[in-house]
């Protein structure tokens, strides 16, 4: 049994199980696989295998991670992964003891998402060249991401059948294959309509493809390519702040809260299954208020 469990294809079976049973995204599954492979590699160096792990082995690995300055957040993700792995092993009667049961997760501070001010966002949105097909496409993508609060993966995966220009909504398939309808907003709707009428056919190159936003080769754009485009326009705009692939999504959420949106509505728009995930944006709004007070109040 031990010989079987250590094989990397067994980890593949676990990952496949997660995909079939829970429909997790490729990025999430890739993270799980990476965590397990790194743990497995560490175990091999210490003459251990996954099926014979004891609680003290996991504790020693956590200590090794700490000594190597790996973040508490990535360690918490590792523990979530390894717990699910051993729960799966228990369910499959491969082991009789779960070594991760009594392991305590590291405490995480509140990690506030990086966002953009409204003026910075407006500047970024004005950068794409509307005299080129690429600029027209990029403008539509950035406008839609900011207007609807989409994840990057959601944005690049939109198919033609998922948008309704007449109703001004887009049907998004999010994490766990959960669907939600999100309003596009007037500016985003205008930009998408312009892209469809002035640029998309050029990207198609007489091919057939249902993906809304196409690469220069007429294929679905990658996350990396889109993120490169955003960084390019941020550089053009002179924006020096730290940006992440979800900066525009964070800006969408923060700006809505600043203008009076309630958390429940924001939760639905973002596609969060748990309201606690959405609440992080209240801290962003509070930090912004503190900053404004310090900058402009005579006794700040």
pLDDT digits (tens, 9 = 90+) for 201-256: 999 988 889 999 999 999 999 999 998 999 999 999 999 887 877 888 888 888 88
Q: Distance between terminal CA atoms of the chain? A: 66
CB environment 165-190: b (16+ within 10 A), e (fewer): eeeebbebbbbeeeebebebbeebbe
Q: Which of the listed ranges 127-136, 254-263, 282-291 does the model predict with the highest average pLDDT? A: 127-136
DSSP symbol at 169: E
Tokens coding 209 = 């493809």
CATH no., domain 2-91: 1.10.150.130
Known catalytic residues are 151, 175, 246, 249, 272, 281
Q: How far apart are CA 285 and CA 122, in angstroms?
A: 19
| Average of per-residue pLDDT values in the chain | 82
pLDDT band per the 50, 70, 90 thresholds, residue 156:
very high
CB environment 216-241: b (16+ within 10 A), e (fewer): eebebbeeeebbebbeebbeebebee
CB contact at 8 A, 229 and 138: yes
Instruction: Return the pLDDT at 277.
Output: 59
Name the more confident of 189 and 250: 189
Name the more confident of 291 and 28: 28
Q: How far apart are CA 139 and CA 3, in angstroms?
A: 53
Q: Domain extents for the chain?
A: 2-91, 118-296
Homologous superfamily (CATH) of 118-296 is Intergrase catalytic core (1.10.443.10)
208 CB neighbour count, 10 Å cutoff: 6
pLDDT of residue 291 exceeding 60, the answer is: no
pLDDT band per the 50, 70, 90 thresholds, residue 292:
very low
Q: What's this model's pTM, rounded to 2 decimal places?
A: 0.59
- The angle that helices 186-198 and 133-148 make with each other, rounded to 10 degrees, is 150
């Amino acid at each position: 049994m031990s010989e079987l469990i250590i094989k990397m294809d067994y980890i593949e079976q676990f990952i496949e199980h997660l995909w079939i049973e829970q429909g997790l995204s490729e990025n999430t599954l890739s993270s799980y696989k990476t965590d397990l492979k790194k743990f497995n590699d560490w175990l091999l160096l210490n003459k251990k295998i996954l099926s014979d792990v004891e609680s003290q082995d996991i504790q020693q690995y956590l200590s090794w991670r700490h000594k190597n300055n790996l973040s508490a957040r990535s360690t918490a993700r590792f523990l979530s992964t390894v717990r699910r792995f051993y729960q799966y092993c228990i369910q499959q009667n491969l082991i009789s003891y779960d070594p991760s049961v009594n392991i305590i997760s590291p405490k995480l501070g509140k990690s506030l998402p990086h966002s953009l001010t409204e003026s910075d966002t407006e500047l970024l949105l004005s950068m794409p060249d509307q005299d080129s097909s690429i600029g027209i496409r990029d403008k539509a993508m950035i406008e839609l991401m900011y207007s609807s609060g989409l994840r990057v993966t959601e944005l690049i995966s939109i198919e033609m059948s998922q948008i309704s220009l007449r109703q001004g909504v887009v049907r998004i398939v999010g994490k766990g294959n959960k669907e939600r309808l999100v309003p596009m907003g007037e500016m985003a709707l205008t930009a998408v309509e312009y892209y469809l009428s002035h640029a998309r056919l050029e990207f198609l190159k007489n091919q057939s493809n249902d993906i809304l936003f196409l690469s220069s080769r007429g294929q679905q754009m990658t996350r990396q390519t889109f993120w490169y485009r955003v960084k390019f326009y941020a550089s053009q705009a002179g924006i020096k702040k730290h940006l992440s692939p979800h900066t525009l999504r964070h800006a969408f959420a923060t700006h809505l809260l600043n203008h009076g949106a309630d958390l429940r509505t924001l939760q639905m728009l973002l596609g969060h299954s748990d309201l606690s995930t959405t609440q992080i944006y209240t801290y962003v709004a509070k930090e912004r208020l503190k900053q404004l007070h310090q900058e402009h109040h005579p006794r700040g």
